[in-house]
Each structure stands twice: as C-alpha cells, then as structure tokens.
Amino acid sequence: MNLTITRAVPQDMPAVLSLINELAIFEKEPDAVKINEEVLLENGFGDNPLFYCFVAKENDTVIGMALCYYRFSTWEGKSLHLEDLVVKEAYRNKGVGKKLYDQVMTFGKENGVKRVEWVVLDWNKNAIAFYEKSGAQFLKDWYLVQMDEGRLHKYVKTLETNL
C-alpha cells in the first residue's frame, strides 16, 4: 500500500465529507450529518481554523481522516480533542487508522498539549480494544453531556421569558 498521511487541504474536503457520512452510517446515525463542504472549508481553513484535519491517502485518493481541535482545561491547560477518526471500510484493519491516530498524537505532542481526549461508543469493541492497547485511559466515572441545538434554543428561550 502506498500510504501517506498529510494535513488536509481544501481540495480534500469532498472526500472528508464522504468519510464523515460513512462514519455516521457506521454509528447507526445515517441522517445525523448536517454540514456540507462549504462549512468544512469555512471552518477548517483561513487565519483562525476551528479544526485541523489529517488525511490518509493511497495513491492520492483519500481513504481515511482524523479531525481534531484545541480545547482548554482549567486544570491542565491546552488540550486536543479528537472529534473523529474514520477509515473507508475497504481499508480497515490494515494499519491506516493507527497511522492517523499516531499523527494526531504526534501533532498534540508537537503543539504542547497536556492531553488528547475523545469519545468512543460503548459498542465499538474494536476501537475500544485499539485505544486500550495504545495505553489510553478510559474515564468511566465521567458522563458525556450535550445540549443539542433544539434543547439549546429551548433553554435560552426559558431564560428570556424569565427576565
């Protein structure tokens, strides 16, 4: 396999979006992706990108990607969040995901982060085994909490009505 891992460029965004959609299907959420290429281009490139993306290419064809962004821990300082790491189904179990993972970890170390963090679905046994083997720590006493757009609007509306 002629595999290269590079920082994504704007021309990679159609393939990145395709991988995001493939991940949504894998995670049993086929209709969950609301973004498009324009959103990726607008937010991933320019003077203040909101994310960094690495792509795995075989002979110039994108076959995997890892998308991450900085966060800040009030206890530890600069951290990196790995949002998604996905490899096309035909290329899984061939070391592509590990190469992308290694790139994100290297990027974090080179940029002085105190930790890299991410979430994994509890049924994704292959990913869990991979992360455990890499030495990652699972924080089982923490809950992932989210406020989706609909709930956010509802909450803020209650704030406005109580003024």
Domains of the chain: residue spans and CATH: 3-138 (3.40.630.30)
SS3 of residue 157 by DSSP: helix
pLDDT of amino acid 162: 85
Q: What is the pLDDT along the chain (163 residues), one digit of tens a residue?
A: 899 999 999 999 999 999 999 999 999 999 999 999 999 999 999 999 999 999 999 999 999 999 999 999 999 999 999 999 999 999 999 999 999 999 999 999 999 999 999 999 999 999 999 999 999 999 999 988 999 999 999 999 999 988 8
pLDDT for position 8: 98
Is 31 strand, coil or helix? coil
- CB of 67 within 8 A of CB of 84? yes
**105 φ, ψ (degrees, to nearest 5):** -65, -40
The H or E element that residue 65 is part of is strand 61-73
Q: What letters, b where the CB count within 10 A reaches 16 and e where it falls short, cover 42-68?
A: eebbeeeeebbbbbbbbeeebbbbbbb
Instruction: Specify whether 131 is catalytic.
Output: yes
From the candidates 52, 101, 131, 143, give the one annotated as an active-site residue: 131
In the beta sheet, which residues pair with residue 116?
A: 80
